[in-house]
């Protein structure tokens, strides 16, 4: 059945008009979606502090996960083959190295001009012999170094053939992990916890700079007056 030419022309005209109406609207909708998508991917202004805190928390997981894997295998099996133990230990050491490399340098402590002038070298918070400000103590770095030593001791224990050595070595690793967590929480710039009923965490001790000791007064000798 053939459609009349007039109906075909009318249908084509309607399709053309519909395309002319919906075409720009569709393009505008696509452009709006693209702008919305681009805006949703823009960084949040002022988020640097929270991003740094998030990174500190991620570092905790990066070390805790392989370390707890090592502990689980050591405590559940007692002894491991050298290859098994080394693979687990290597994962912990790789995480420690990654976190250590990404850690910011310890900031310099302020130094009083009087301390720089009078010395008091070698004490934290006081000027060194070269007059430069000392570095703040790197608690997280110290904790990671101690943890690595504990992991090495556990490696020796799980491959020694003596199961009795495993438990104290594993306990030392757990202590090392707790020290790492505490150093990160207290010194990593994380916000203070606000859980109701939670005791306040202690703040890191800040050593007081030593004050210069005044030199003792020398005795003043009064010259004898001539006698007549």
Domains of the chain with bracketed CATH:
48-103+138-187 (1.20.120), 109-135 (no CATH)
127: region left, alpha or beta (phi > 0 left; psi from -120 to 50 alpha): beta
Q: What is the predicted pLDDT for the residue at 149?
A: 97
- Residue 210 in contact with residue 115, Cβ under 8 Å? yes
| Closest to 172 in 3D by CA, of 189, 152, 191 | 152
Q: What is the predicted pLDDT for the residue at 192?
A: 80
pTM of this structure:
0.61
Q: What is the predicted pLDDT for the residue at 23?
A: 57
Give me the average pLDDT of each 10-residue run along the chain (228 residues).
53 52 57 62 83 87 95 96 96 94 58 45 48 60 95 97 96 96 84 84 58 56 61
- For the stretch 33-43, pLDDT in tens is 666 555 567 78
């Amino acid at each position: 059945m053939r459609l009349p030419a007039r109906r075909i022309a009318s249908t084509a005209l309607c399709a053309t008009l519909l395309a002319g109406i919906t075409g720009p609207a569709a393009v505008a909708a696509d452009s709006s979606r693209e702008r919305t998508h681009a805006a949703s991917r823009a960084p949040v202004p002022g988020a640097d502090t929270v991003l740094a805190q998030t990174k500190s928390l991620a570092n905790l997981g990066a070390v805790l996960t392989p370390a707890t894997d090592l502990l689980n295998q050591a405590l559940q099996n007692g002894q491991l083959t050298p290859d098994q133990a080394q693979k687990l230990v290597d994962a912990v050491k790789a995480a420690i190295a990654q976190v250590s490399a990404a850690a910011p340098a310890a900031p310099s402590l302020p130094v009083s001009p009087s301390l720089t002038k009078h010395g008091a070298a070698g004490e934290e918070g006081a000027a060194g012999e070269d007059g430069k400000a000392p570095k703040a103590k790197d608690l997280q770095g110290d904790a990671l170094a101690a943890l690595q030593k504990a992991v090495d001791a556990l490696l020796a224990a799980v491959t020694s053939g003596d199961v009795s050595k495993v438990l104290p070595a594993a306990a030392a690793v757990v202590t090392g992990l707790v020290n790492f967590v505490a150093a990160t929480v207290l010194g990593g710039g994380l916000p203070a916890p606000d859980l109701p009923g939670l005791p306040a965490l202690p703040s890191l001790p800040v050593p007081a700079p030593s004050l210069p000791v005044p030199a003792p007064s020398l005795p003043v000798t009064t010259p004898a007056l001539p006698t007549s």
